[in-house]
Structure 1
């Protein structure tokens, strides 16, 4: 049981960030210098996980798991890979308002709650952040919007304050940061006297379209054309990450100035693996793939009153585990009818040497993919072919051990089948929204 005061909680989620895009995960400097100095310092002052995963290799399914602390496969909307603009008006493709969520459970226990940034879990009037536990919302409802016009890929404006459209000039990453800072400023007096807040800070960076703070003129030139294979480059991509990192630096400085840093749990991750300009070294694959590059992501936790600086852990985990951890840190229990699949990592936060090896499972409609990891071993199926990898020796998933260890393969396949039988089946009408493929992701 947590003996510390209930912390403020800030859950920062980048969009399509690759495993090695940050300096602290081996990423190289850009032409302008270090890409992620603030996040690198957060890792040095807190805990960094080297074997952490997202619940899915694509956007909205991971967000279902984040919100519910349960496997996303339990909800119909998460079978879409991912939810797209065609689901506007749907009453089934979204996060059901009646389902308990991380913010709704925290709010019921006295937390003030806000989402600043990307939602991507269904559209009003059936779905929305304010219907799923958040007191406040600023950001886009859909998956990807232009950073200046704030229009989605179908050309419609998609920036909201609450459930009302918000016309606001500016570079979206900076607008998200500004609204997050405003929220913390307003919540700080209450937090200082024991009335904590929960802030979901979900950046759209570095998701396409690839535009930096200085690219407004270029954005106007191609207004209405967001198809992401038509532009971008590595330096632009890295600059977008740097803009996000600068915003996180402003947030951390504000927490310090308000005297809140010590008792605020800040967690940083990505919703899935990287896209075409990402650096996933030494991993292969990327977004949409259950190879390591599609699901292994950065995990950084900073909480000075609990987490000792300099911690590095090879503990495996999923997105939903961190949601369960936040509930545990706040002393909040799951709703009885919705038991959590995620497990609390509070023991790890207190002691970075803690380590266990729970089984992790994934499935993906796209290419009939499935995966399981337990310990150093990973079972993978793609396009009907089964593979077995020892990740401690082969993180690039190149040496298939299936032919030489058939018993291990059979045991892991049986474990995956048993887990899958406990989940709802993938509906026949579930769709896969592509527009990119792992072959477009450069490997170094």
Structure 2
């Protein structure tokens, strides 16, 4: 089979049930993404590598647990990170785009990077041929300034001052890339990493409020569920533009599109029936949408309960693109390529997490989940209790002890969290009243 074009779309802080195809209970915010799910594969028990943004992106890029890289131990990298100039994705590290480029792909990142700033770090140093977007975590959608007031919109490593709503700028850049590359004679890999629906909560109609938020993008007094839904609608519309460009160029059937979120939802998101959200290792913080669309390979209308996390999907893209892992950096990820070809195929995939924030630990194996938050430990059967309400540790002491021991053994295989690692003290879904 010829190498497919590959598009890896990542939303920012999108909740598990925000999309219609995942049971969203609000307005119809995602008809294009719902159509991709209907025409392809939807996973119901897929996860992010972390409940916070930059660690997940380290896992996405390296196909290894983010804890193996110093920058991946920040929760996330940002204003509280010590020696921020020294933190980032090392340019010598093999990455999904660099390995696909070795396999013959043209590569581009459009959108959010959040893995370290130039001159030491950046997309162009880690496997991408082209970059347009923001280096940091969150930016104003109109001024394109970060929380400290610095401008954060770049074309390559050059600052650019384009006018417009950021989500639309990213979508139109992606369309332009497809139109340039679709008939270029080589396959392309496009990472389209939106900042939506991450704060500040601004829609296309909110340009007038942008100046009022200058210097305080991380605020707790703004936004509402209606503006949040509109932000998802804007992103969904842009994805529709991209799909139409692929169709217009005659390459849609031979393009693998994967869509997800970097972590669970935040203050206005819908994670039902899950508990918790961003910053939490409860299900609402790490279980996220996963949609894959590839008409030439994936049967339409497929649904899978296969367990997976972000880095597994990156390994999947590497395999279907014909790339090879670097033997000096063995992958922690497991390719899901067999699931794409036969969505009824399932295999056991243990998943491990840890967070310095609230000293959290988690392990999922099969239907069971071991969880520790602060000094409290739990054992849940998620097949029967997705809301993580019935602690079965007293009833299942042997299973609890075994999963606890397995987590501790895994933890010995990755570097420890250093004492100076930054922990976000901002808004967390744990502060929300639960349903």
TM-score by length of 2: 0.98
| Partner residue, 2:204 | 213
Long gaps (5+) in structure 1: none
Q: Is the 8 A contact 2:41 2:301 kept in 1?
A: yes
| Partner residue, 1:26 | 23
Find the aligned partners of 2:169 and 2:161 in 1 and give their Cα distance.
Answer: 11
Find the aligned partners of 2:335 and 2:430 in 1 and give their Cα distance.
Answer: 36
| Partner residue, 1:121 | 115
The question of 1:131 aligning with 2:125 is answered yes
Residues 433-442 or 325-334, more deviating: 433-442
User: 1:367 is matched with which residue: 351, 358, 362?
Assistant: 358
| Partner residue, 1:427 | 418
State the secondary structure of the residue aligned to 2:220: helix
Find the aligned partners of 1:169 and 1:149 in 2 and give their Cα distance.
Answer: 8
Q: Is the 8 A contact 2:363 2:369 kept in 1?
A: yes
Residues 274-324 of structure 1: CA deviation (Å, up to 9, x unaligned): 000000000000000000000000000000011010000000001000000
Count of residue pairs the alignment pairs up: 435
State the secondary structure of the residue aligned to 1:189: coil
Find the aligned partners of 2:420 and 2:152 in 1 and give their Cα distance.
Answer: 26
| Partner residue, 2:74 | 80
| Partner residue, 1:11 | 8
Q: Is the 8 A contact 1:89 1:124 kept in 2?
A: no
User: 1:290 is matched with which residue: 258, 281, 293?
Assistant: 281
| Partner residue, 2:180 | 186
User: 2:259 is matched with which residue: 230, 252, 268?
Assistant: 268
TM-score by length of 1: 0.96
| Partner residue, 1:236 | 227
User: 2:241 is matched with which residue: 250, 255, 280?
Assistant: 250
User: 2:153 is matched with which residue: 150, 153, 159?
Assistant: 159
State the secondary structure of the residue aligned to 1:137: strand
The question of 1:418 aligning with 2:409 is answered yes
| Partner residue, 2:135 | 141
Find the aligned partners of 2:83 and 2:173 in 1 and give their Cα distance.
Answer: 28
State the secondary structure of the residue aligned to 1:52: coil
State the secondary structure of the residue aligned to 1:198: strand
User: 2:321 is matched with which residue: 320, 324, 330?
Assistant: 330
Residues 350-379 of structure 1: CA deviation (Å, up to 9, x unaligned): 001001122110011111100000000000
User: 1:280 is matched with which residue: 235, 257, 271?
Assistant: 271
* Cα displacement (A) at 1:93: 1.0
Find the aligned partners of 2:322 and 2:41 in 1 and give their Cα distance.
Answer: 21
* Cα displacement (A) at 1:41: 0.6
Structure-2 change in CA distance of 1:337 and 1:269 (3 Å)? same
Which residues in structure 2 correspond to 1:316-395 (within 5 Å)?
316-395=307-386
Find the aligned partners of 1:368 and 1:337 in 2 and give their Cα distance.
Answer: 31
Q: Is the 8 A contact 1:87 1:122 kept in 2?
A: no
* Cα displacement (A) at 1:220: 2.5
State the secondary structure of the residue aligned to 1:396: coil
State the secondary structure of the residue aligned to 1:244: helix
Q: Is the 8 A contact 2:82 2:422 kept in 1?
A: no
Q: Is the 8 A contact 2:50 2:56 kept in 1?
A: yes
* Cα displacement (A) at 1:82: 0.2
* Cα displacement (A) at 1:57: 0.2
Residues 84-93 or 318-327, more deviating: 84-93
Which residues in structure 2 correspond to 1:36-51 (within 5 Å)?
36-51=30-45
Computed over aligned residues only, the root mean square deviation of the Cα atoms, in angstroms, reads 1.2
Find the aligned partners of 2:89 and 2:315 in 1 and give their Cα distance.
Answer: 18
* Cα displacement (A) at 1:441: 3.8
